[in-house]
Structure 1
Amino acid sequence: MAYGFVGISLFIILVYFIGSLYIQQNKYKLLAEARKSIETKFHSIVSIKNIHLSIIEQFPNLSIQLDHIDVKGTMYDVHQQKIFTAKKVSVRIKPLPLLIGNIVFSKTKINNGHLIIYTDSLGKNNLEELTKKRKKEKESAFPIPENIELNEFNITIKDDQKLKNIQFYINYLQVQTKETDQITELFIKKNMTVHSLTFNHLKGSFLKNQLLKGKYTLELNNKSQTLSAKNISLIIGSIPFNINGIFDLKKEGKFKLNISTKGIPFDIAQLFLTKNINRVLKFITITKPLAIEANITGPLSGGEPHVIANWETKQTTIGTKQITFTDADVKGSFNNQVKKEQAPSDSNSSILLTRLIGNWHSIPIRTTNIQLNNLTNPKLRGGFSSQFDLAKLNPPLNTENIVIKNGIGKINIDYDGPLNNILVSNTKITARLQIVNGEIYIKPIQKDIINTQAEIDISNNAVEIKNLTARTKDGSILNVTGISTNSLAAIPNTPGKANIILNIKSPFLDLNNFSAALQHNSKKSRKTNKATFSKIDHLLENETIHIYLDANSIKWQKLVATNLKTSINLKTGNWELSNLSMNVGKGTILLSSKIINNKGSKTISANYNIVGVKADELLYGMGNFNLPPISYKNVRGILNIKGHLIGPLNQQGDFNPNQIKAQFNFRLSQGALINYAPLIKIQEHIFKKRRLDSLRFSNIQNDITIQNGNIHIPRMEIATSVLNLFVGGDYGLDGKTNLHIQVPLNNITQRDQSKKMLNVSNKEKGGTSIFLSAISDKTGQIKLKLDPNGSKYKKEQIAQ
């Protein structure tokens, strides 16, 4: 055995020596024959630098090696494009036939080569003359080998007319053939890189810079002239694919391919696609790998193939900047020939979601109808519906001012518009939200709204409250309709400010604690900006809200009123109350006011007109207006007041009497003073036997000024059922009281006061009188004493 191996080895060395000697001696003849054979076969101009016999290149086999081959077609002078170049071409010689003296070639190996097929803009091809002239010819001195191996080899197919550019770099490719009667099997092993797979350079390349690696078999049917692939395993990039297909190699032939993979990350899949398709897909996020199956058909002569791809993934996050779904099970498809009468193209393409089951901000959703059409100018169309726990709306609302506690929500959302450059003119977002038995906490008014039933329509950034009914725990009942524009963030950069109009009707409204909305702004921890539909916090702080309020009955503090009607404007943190009217008993209150927010401090200004209201009811209801000199316990009568006030609001939304400025005219008719302390104190000096604890009077009228905690009372006559007197001066809320009291001496004699009560005049002199002063001491207590300046004060007041 050993002797046999040694003998064969010596024989090969001998053949190599003899062959090398022969090639060396006949080098130029052999080069000429090789060139002629190639030129005849391919109708080209050939250059070969060297030829020699090698035992190393395809060891242990002998091979004939050609160095630096250069092949130019007949169109080279026109295109300056060669057909083929190679640094080294090695043709293996079968060893066994050498034993009987025959030379048979078995394998061709090409290193550092380049194959170029070029078509210019006029459709002229650098292989055109070869195609025209080539006919059946006698077998050349270099017959077609049984197999071929390429190393570091480039293939370029460029068509300037069809805008096609295909470039492969072959790291390693080996093709072996096995023939039967009708079938030629091609055993292929390859490792190559796709630099470009461009069918139209305006659209970009598929598989750009992706590695293709695999080992598989193709079948060539010589009778039907078809090439088929069955269950080929191929690595593209780093992803395993399974490929089946058939290629019709006849003239005008077509191909069909089925390509599938069980798991490819979405970002990796984008690397396989053209820049035009990725221009659309870059706006979409899919976090879990996709299972994809694609069917591709098209002509071998070139042109856009028809692609239908189906894909699915589970438990993924999928969405765009506008809307994102989590924990989603998704099925979809891609078709680049939606309209069959039109050729495949990006503009004739669509991506369809045939199933999407997942969550939108923890809200369960389900849809079978989301489409992305026309990848040249992509347009998204579709929507979803859901029934859900209403509290799950809190995250997408993303507001600190509204907290949803309970209830059932039903929502339908539809979108029709582009993925990018979203504008009101090109986008339509519609939604309907239904609320059943909702409980919602409204932070600015610190109230829980319960038993909420609502039907709300959304169109782009506009919201229409078709109907909303609710109650509060204190018994208020709300019936609300309204509309707002530019109040959502669904369409960004919408021109114009938000404008909200609310119509509120109520059979009963308890306004207590609503004043919390007037509190000073406290420092908030801002929520991070999220991709939600809400701008509620911004609206409440910066935009315009118009409220038209109509309530049959209201309660504020202890005041009960009926038939309240008003309009309220809230704008950039300021409030304006216009034309408020309401009935208190048989009387009416008219009010217009403004609340101005300046760097967190709120100031109120108001014009008011009180007509025919019972004084004790008003004072009781309004907590005596925080003015110590008067109380609902002491005053009776029909009150008319008209005036204006301005002042800051405290943390509770009330004003501090020491800080307000006010001017008003009042008239108290058919009145009485009951246990009024300043009058009772007079009995310490005079009229000790008279009842000053219950005094009736016809009219008291004056113009009052309040400023810096001081109530200024011009001299006025009080003609009561027991006596008449004059009072004027200043009552200090901060303990600086100085009142002048004039008691005419004609009061000493008891008389019928009814006539005098009807003829009251603040300019009346009063005749001979006792003058007293009510002055507060250091402790704030008011003391009565004789007033030496009383007469002077009277004259000054009368003279004014």
Structure 2
Amino acid sequence: MARWLKISLIIFASLVLFFIVVLAGLSIYISSHKTKVIAMVTAELNKNLDGKLTVGDVKTSLFERFPSLSVKLENVSLRDKQFERHHHTLLNTRSFDVAVNFKQLLKGNVNIDHIDITGANIDLFTDSSGYTNTSIFKKDTTKANKGTGKNDLTQIGKFNLKEVIFTVDDRKAKKLFKFEVERLNGKINFPDTGWAAETDLKVMARSMAFSTVHGSFIKNKLIEGRLKGGYNSSTGVISVRSDDFSIGGDDFNVTASFNTKKKPADFTFFITADQLLWRHASSLLAPNISQKLNLFNLDKPIAITATIKGTFGPGDPFLYITAGVNNNKLSGPGWVIDDVSFKGVFTNNYIKGKGFTDANSIIRLSAFQGSYGHLPFVIDTGSIINLEKPIATGNFKSNFPATNFNYLFGSSVARFSKGTADMTLHYKADIVDYLINKPIVTGDINLRNADINYVPRNIAFKNTSVSFHFTKKDLTVDHIRVQSGRSVVLMKGRINNFLNLYYNAPEKIVIDWQINSPQLYIGEFIGFLGTRQHVETKKVNRRNSGNIVDQLGTVLDKAQAAIHINAANVHYNKFLATDAVADLHLSDDGVQISNASVKHAGGSLKLRGNIYQDKTQNHFNLNTTVNNVNVREFFLAFDNFGLTDITYQNLKGFLSSTTKITGRLSNAGGLVPLSIFGTSSINLQNAALLNYKPLINVGKFAFPFRNLREITIPRLDANFEIRGDKIVINPMQLNSSVLNADIAGTYGLKTGTDITMDVPLRNPKNDADITDSVKLAKRRNRGVVLHIRASDDESGKLKIGWNKDHKILGF
């Protein structure tokens, strides 16, 4: 070995040995003078503290972090002067292990190569007045260090925190941050601009409440990952970022900054995640937000970005969160939207300057598309404003087969079997219990060539088309074509103040209908006379009556309609009328008829009155005026008005009458037997009574040689009272081709017939040539007059006999 090399090795070994001896000596000195060293250290540190630092024990180790000198402080406590008042210890640690750079220590500088803290509790407390226990570090040392030229910043190389609880409890700003550090390892470099650090951490976030009123973000979430950060001493900004960060098991990218020069210091977080489940995302937010979001769900993960800005002073932070959703399923209270895609934005700063509050929050949706109850739709723009009293607005478009309505309405309102529908609407609605409530809509709904069965009334409509035009308050309906069986109806209408009444008072809705029809078969709409059918449907969790679909059945049943009809031909059973015009008012109670007139049986018929419903039947009261109708056709059309003994086959001539009656109709539209009450005045011209058995039977007894099978009546005026199963015949004169008679009494449709007749035996043919009415009246009762009484017994059998009182009933 070369001489110079031997000498160099000897010198190096001597230096190492010297270094070891010095370290060993220093370690021995500290161990043997522990009390004195602790006193010296605490005294020196307490010089710059406005409080008290205590150290329970100190240990040294030469070889643990050689060549640095390892000093372990145990049971370290750091308290400010106000501790007895607030009882928050700033630092309380079981073990505080520091590796000091020996070389720098010989020069009088404290450079910490490594620091380990184990079993510590760090509690930064600020009371409601603004006093903080960190005031322990605020003792003014400017004068003491002035002119020394020394850098008092202690530099730390590596650090390791284990089982450390870190708390920031700010009662004045209403903020609470608490983290349980299972592991936090890192190293720090000190460039000229400040410092730079890298850390690896595993921390449980027990609280990150920017506002204790609203609760904590990421509460009880495990945080893991690697962070890189730095501090710029000129700007006072601490910057942190991580591409390997996990919160509650979900991966995030995080960028954060803290401006320490501002008073109070502010912060900014920017967080992104490419695959995050909805419920996982909502669980990261404060309860005032997550409780609302948890009422909804998306089945598949979504992409989100979040910006959180605020200060460590009072007030909530600014939030701006975006979400990208593609081919997902969105569910909420009582509803599900399939095939959902949209871009969403949430911010609590809708109007700048109004504060970061729920009331100033907005959820914006764009390019929203989905399918609700098999109804595909698009919302190009939509918003929910003010999360305290939410209001939803947006533009809604949809185009789909009309049969898809069956999924929406179920079987309680209508069933569609054909047709198409399209909607273009702008809506605005309150949200009550997180359900759309009482939406106000503007725009159009078009239904084309649809076949519909209206379930509550069991009425079928074919090839139906309709257009609905919604304004802010009113609804106009036009281009309506409805076909039910052979009926074809063309309609247009208007409803004033529609949307307000739709929810608040559906019984006050009045639809103004203009109806025209070439062929109207009343029987095909007779279902409206029946009671509403209640169909059992699958129960859905809808919790408010403001839902537009839930309300539809109620509106259809309770709304009123003012109908103005013009029909070329009207059919009802055997009744046929032409040139029909009518004004009807339909309500929940029934139908009011006014100004109704038709041409029928060669004459005309006018009608006014009401039809109203109870649980089983339909009651009516009608005033009719009949002018010169063919009596045979008239009786045939109305099924003989419930009479059985006298029918259209017994009548001929032309009838005029006025009638005021009440009665009942069945749900099938037929007259309820024996239900009619009222009065009727008739006038018959050129009439004939054909094969009327009661008179034929009388004729066999009184006029065996006269033909009573065809009795011609040039004119007959009569007044009747209809009393259910009886018809009261007010006194009247019958002048016919076969006999003359004065008649009065009661005709019983079942029993109770009691009719008196004075019948002169004089044959009216003998006076056929007399034209003087006065002379004819005198000759009318000449000769023998039969006083006849027709009555039935308890069984209803009619008996004909003499009227012994010789008085006509009712005279």
Q: One fold, TM greater than 0.5?
A: yes
The answer to whether structure 1 residue 506 and structure 2 residue 506 are counterparts is no
C-alpha separation in 2, matches of 1:441 and 1:759: 68
Matching residue's letter, 1:207: F
Q: Name the stretch that deviates more: 614-623 or 539-548.
A: 539-548
Is the 8 Å Cα contact of residues 489 and 534 (structure 1) preserved in structure 2?
A: no
User: Match for residue 194 of structure 1?
Assistant: 205
1:545 Cα deviation (Å)?
4.2
Pick closer, same or farther for the CA change 1:762–1:551 going to 2, 3 Å. farther
1:241 Cα deviation (Å)?
1.9
The answer to whether structure 1 residue 33 and structure 2 residue 40 are counterparts is yes
C-alpha separation in 2, matches of 1:551 and 1:142: 101
Pick closer, same or farther for the CA change 1:501–1:223 going to 2, 3 Å. closer
Is the 8 Å Cα contact of residues 430 and 436 (structure 2) preserved in structure 1?
A: no
Structure 1, residues 207-253: CA drift from partner, whole Å, max 9, x if none?
A: 15232321314143779887555543222234222324566777799
1:625 pairs with one of 600, 623, 641: 641
1:69 pairs with one of 64, 67, 76: 76
Which aligned pairs between 1:688-699 and structure 2 lie closer than 5 A? 690-699=706-715
> Could you say what secondary structure the match of 2:762 adopts?
helix
User: Match for residue 11 of structure 1?
Assistant: none
Is the 8 Å Cα contact of residues 498 and 539 (structure 1) preserved in structure 2?
A: no
2:803 pairs with one of 781, 790, 794: 790
Pick closer, same or farther for the CA change 1:42–1:777 going to 2, 3 Å. same
User: Match for residue 484 of structure 2?
Assistant: 472
Pick closer, same or farther for the CA change 1:502–1:215 going to 2, 3 Å. same
Pick closer, same or farther for the CA change 1:649–1:85 going to 2, 3 Å. same
C-alpha separation in 2, matches of 1:141 and 1:692: 138
1:88 Cα deviation (Å)?
0.9
1:241 pairs with one of 252, 261, 268: 252
Pick closer, same or farther for the CA change 1:621–1:456 going to 2, 3 Å. same
> Could you say what secondary structure the match of 1:654 adopts?
coil
Matching residue's letter, 1:514: F
Pick closer, same or farther for the CA change 1:484–1:765 going to 2, 3 Å. farther
The answer to whether structure 1 residue 589 and structure 2 residue 605 are counterparts is yes
Is the 8 Å Cα contact of residues 740 and 759 (structure 2) preserved in structure 1?
A: yes
Matching residue's letter, 2:733: E
Structure 1, residues 232-285: CA drift from partner, whole Å, max 9, x if none?
A: 322223422232456677779976644222333333322322344447646655
The answer to whether structure 1 residue 327 and structure 2 residue 339 are counterparts is yes
C-alpha separation in 1, matches of 2:189 and 2:386: 47
Residue segments in structure 1 that go unaligned for 5+ positions in a row: 1-13, 98-102
User: Match for residue 515 of structure 1?
Assistant: 526
Pick closer, same or farther for the CA change 1:673–1:267 going to 2, 3 Å. same
> Could you say what secondary structure the match of 1:209 adopts?
coil
The answer to whether structure 1 residue 170 and structure 2 residue 161 are counterparts is no
User: Match for residue 7 of structure 1?
Assistant: none
> Could you say what secondary structure the match of 1:535 adopts?
helix
Matching residue's letter, 2:761: L
1:210 pairs with one of 214, 220, 224: 220
Is the 8 Å Cα contact of residues 86 and 111 (structure 1) preserved in structure 2?
A: no
Pick closer, same or farther for the CA change 1:68–1:547 going to 2, 3 Å. farther
C-alpha separation in 2, matches of 1:175 and 1:380: 48
2:421 pairs with one of 406, 409, 412: 409
1:327 Cα deviation (Å)?
2.5
User: Match for residue 85 of structure 1?
Assistant: 91
Q: Name the stretch that deviates more: 539-548 or 702-711.
A: 539-548
Structure 1, residues 621-671: CA drift from partner, whole Å, max 9, x if none?
A: 112112113222321223233333333433423223334333322222232
Identity of aligned residues (%): 20
User: Match for residue 703 of structure 1?
Assistant: 719
Pick closer, same or farther for the CA change 1:340–1:734 going to 2, 3 Å. closer
Matching residue's letter, 1:613: V
User: Match for residue 669 of structure 1?
Assistant: 685
User: Match for residue 4 of structure 1?
Assistant: none
C-alpha separation in 1, matches of 2:743 and 2:772: 16
Pick closer, same or farther for the CA change 1:682–1:417 going to 2, 3 Å. closer
1:365 Cα deviation (Å)?
0.8
The answer to whether structure 1 residue 316 and structure 2 residue 332 are counterparts is no
Pick closer, same or farther for the CA change 1:68–1:546 going to 2, 3 Å. farther
Is the 8 Å Cα contact of residues 506 and 554 (structure 2) preserved in structure 1?
A: no
1:455 Cα deviation (Å)?
1.8
The answer to whether structure 1 residue 351 and structure 2 residue 363 are counterparts is yes
> Could you say what secondary structure the match of 1:393 adopts?
helix
Which aligned pairs between 1:47-446 and structure 2 lie closer than 5 A? 47-52=54-59, 64-73=71-80, 80=86, 84-91=90-97, 107-119=114-126, 125-127=132-134, 130=137, 133=140, 144=156, 146-158=158-170, 160=172, 163-177=173-187, 179=189, 186-201=197-212, 204-220=214-230, 229=240, 231-245=242-256, 257-278=269-290, 281=293, 286-296=298-308, 307-318=319-330, 325-336=337-348, 349-375=361-387, 378-397=390-409, 400-420=412-432, 428-443=440-455, 446=458
Residue segments in structure 2 that go unaligned for 5+ positions in a row: 1-20, 104-109
Pick closer, same or farther for the CA change 1:373–1:712 going to 2, 3 Å. closer
Q: Name the stretch that deviates more: 401-410 or 722-731.
A: 722-731
User: Match for residue 3 of structure 1?
Assistant: none
Pick closer, same or farther for the CA change 1:96–1:38 going to 2, 3 Å. closer
C-alpha separation in 1, matches of 2:776 and 2:421: 67
Structure 1, residues 117-168: CA drift from partner, whole Å, max 9, x if none?
A: 44566766544573573567969999746212131412215262xx251312
C-alpha separation in 1, matches of 2:786 and 2:380: 96
Matching residue's letter, 1:789: W
Is the 8 Å Cα contact of residues 530 and 667 (structure 2) preserved in structure 1?
A: yes
1:86 Cα deviation (Å)?
1.1
> Could you say what secondary structure the match of 2:669 adopts?
coil
> Could you say what secondary structure the match of 2:526 adopts?
helix
1:639 pairs with one of 655, 664, 687: 655
Pick closer, same or farther for the CA change 1:398–1:481 going to 2, 3 Å. farther
Pick closer, same or farther for the CA change 1:223–1:370 going to 2, 3 Å. same
Matching residue's letter, 2:735: A
Pick closer, same or farther for the CA change 1:624–1:758 going to 2, 3 Å. farther
Is the 8 Å Cα contact of residues 452 and 461 (structure 2) preserved in structure 1?
A: yes
1:505 Cα deviation (Å)?
1.9
C-alpha separation in 2, matches of 1:172 and 1:15: 37
The answer to whether structure 1 residue 603 and structure 2 residue 619 are counterparts is yes
Is the 8 Å Cα contact of residues 399 and 534 (structure 1) preserved in structure 2?
A: no
1:68 Cα deviation (Å)?
3.6
Matching residue's letter, 1:675: N
> Could you say what secondary structure the match of 1:619 adopts?
helix
Matching residue's letter, 1:210: N
C-alpha separation in 2, matches of 1:394 and 1:129: 73
1:733 pairs with one of 741, 749, 757: 749
User: Match for residue 7 of structure 2?
Assistant: none
Structure 1, residues 298-329: CA drift from partner, whole Å, max 9, x if none?
A: 67899766554321223434476698633312
Pick closer, same or farther for the CA change 1:226–1:175 going to 2, 3 Å. farther
C-alpha separation in 2, matches of 1:638 and 1:332: 77
Is the 8 Å Cα contact of residues 184 and 221 (structure 1) preserved in structure 2?
A: yes
1:189 Cα deviation (Å)?
3.3
Structure 1, residues 749-791: CA drift from partner, whole Å, max 9, x if none?
A: 7441774999998998675134556567999786xx7x44335
Is the 8 Å Cα contact of residues 757 and 808 (structure 2) preserved in structure 1?
A: no
Q: Number of paired residues?
A: 770
Is the 8 Å Cα contact of residues 173 and 191 (structure 1) preserved in structure 2?
A: yes
Is the 8 Å Cα contact of residues 721 and 757 (structure 1) preserved in structure 2?
A: no
